[in-house]
């Protein structure tokens, strides 16, 4: 089947700035500073400033930003870290790699963001930090997080992999806690031409330790003060990101406009069990993903809807089909089916619709029209039985 509306189309943005990107990469090629070069330093400074914080330390992936970032914040063995069950597995892997114990909690059914009341019940004397995942492009309320951290004396370590320049309560993603991890996977709101990540922090000590950890634990060349690793955002990727960064606010604005159109077009389908995830942060939501729930009242299950959309050339995704606590690799953590009912229910109902800068109004209408046609056709069949 020919794909008429892809889930993501990176070619639109890349073609529009093809010459700039080629020139930026050529400049790195000619200078030859492929590792820890000038473009990396410039990007780290620029992205930290845009995000409302002080330091940026580029690493090889978003996963490394979490794992090494937690270590840089002195979080490790003997510490518990609270995180939502409904996140990408990288959040969990980062906690485990840091040597800490992950403690899952459930999510808010309306937003899919971490349930802070559940997090409060999970606090123990060993709780060192909470990882609020700014899921789908919407921040967990910074004010609520700061109140939580103050009340329970824990650190806030943001997972902002899907929330580049997202805003809420007067804060930007990456400026709320002691540190924040971002991913530059190609399909992110700000994406590289491969893997990449960054840790943002306002704390000079955390920044210095992270700088050592990403580069073999070296405080100076051939002098290693801790057991670090090799995880550096290479200069070529940083050059690409630096060229893209000025365009990010407009790309985010385009995503918001697309989401608002989806909201309006989907409104008549709410009564049929198609419920968009709730936006509680207004224009601060950057919509890395546009996610709907196929409610229990819907006449079709998600798989049927996804298959029928694919049959007419419309790609969709599921973020994520299996909660972390039920992944086969982590059964030793001791969690079971039923432990986090909202996350488990959501995993069976959510569906991500096409979302990327440049997705046209007519394409949004086509996606919703196809969805409406699938549902109305099924309803007609039920009425005829």
The residues that are catalytic are 188
> Residue 222 is encoded by which pair of tokens?
């051939």
How many CB atoms are closer than 10 A to CB 56? 26
3-state secondary structure (DSSP) of residue 307: helix
Q: How far is it, in rounded angstroms, from Cα 292 to Cα 223?
A: 51
Ordered DSSP codes for 130-175: E--B-GGG----HHHHHHHHHHHT-EEEEE-TT-TT-EETTEETTS
Report the DSSP beta bridge partners of residue 157. Answer: 179
3-state secondary structure (DSSP) of residue 285: coil
**Beta-carbon contacts of residue 159 (< 8 Å; ≥ 6 apart):** 66, 83, 87, 91, 131, 132, 133, 134, 180, 181
Closest CA to 112 of 142, 145, 85, 82: 85
């Amino acid at each position: 089947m020919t794909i008429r509306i892809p889930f993501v189309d990176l070619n639109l943005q890349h073609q529009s700035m093809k010459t700039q990107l080629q020139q930026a990469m050529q400049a790195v090629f000619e200078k030859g500073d492929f590792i820890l070069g000038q473009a990396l330093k410039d990007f780290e400074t620029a992205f930290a400033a845009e995000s409302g914080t002080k330091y940026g330390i580029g690493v090889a992936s978003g996963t490394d930003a979490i794992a090494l970032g937690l270590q840089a914040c002195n979080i490790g063995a003997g510490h518990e870290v609270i995180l939502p069950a409904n996140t990408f597995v990288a959040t969990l892997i980062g906690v485990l790699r840091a040597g800490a114990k992950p403690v899952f909690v459930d999510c808010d059914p309306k937003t899919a963001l971490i349930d802070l009341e559940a997090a409060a019940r999970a606090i123990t004397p060993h709780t060192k930090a909470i990882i609020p995942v700014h899921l789908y492009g919407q921040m967990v309320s910074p004010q609520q997080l700061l109140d939580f951290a103050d009340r329970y004396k824990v650190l806030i370590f943001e997972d902002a992999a899907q929330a580049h320049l997202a805003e809420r309560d007067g804060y930007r993603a990456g400026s709320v806690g002691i540190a924040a991890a971002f991913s530059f996977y190609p399909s992110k709101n700000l994406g590289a031409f491969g893997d990449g990540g960054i840790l943002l922090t306002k704390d000079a000590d955390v920044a210095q330790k992270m700088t050592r950890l990403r580069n073999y634990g070296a405080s100076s060349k051939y002098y290693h003060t801790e057991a670090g690793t090799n995880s550096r955002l290479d200069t070529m990727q940083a050059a690409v990101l630096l060229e893209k960064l000025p365009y990010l606010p407009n790309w985010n604005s385009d995503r918001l406009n697309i989401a608002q159109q989806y909201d309006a077009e989907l409104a008549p389908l709410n009564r049929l069990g198609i419920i968009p995830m709730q936006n509680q942060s207004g224009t601060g939501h950057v919509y890395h993903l546009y996610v709907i729930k196929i409610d229990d009242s819907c006449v079709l299950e998600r798989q049927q809807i996804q298959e029928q959309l694919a049959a007419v050339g419309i790609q969709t995704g599921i973020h994520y089909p299996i909660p972390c606590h039920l992944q086969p690799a982590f059964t030793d953590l001791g969690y079971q089916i039923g432990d986090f009912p909202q996350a488990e229910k959501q995993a069976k109902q959510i569906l991500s619709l096409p979302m990327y800068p440049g997705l046209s109004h007519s394409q949004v209408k086509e996606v919703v029209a196809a969805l409406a046609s699938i549902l109305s056709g099924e309803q007609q069949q039920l009425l005829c039985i």
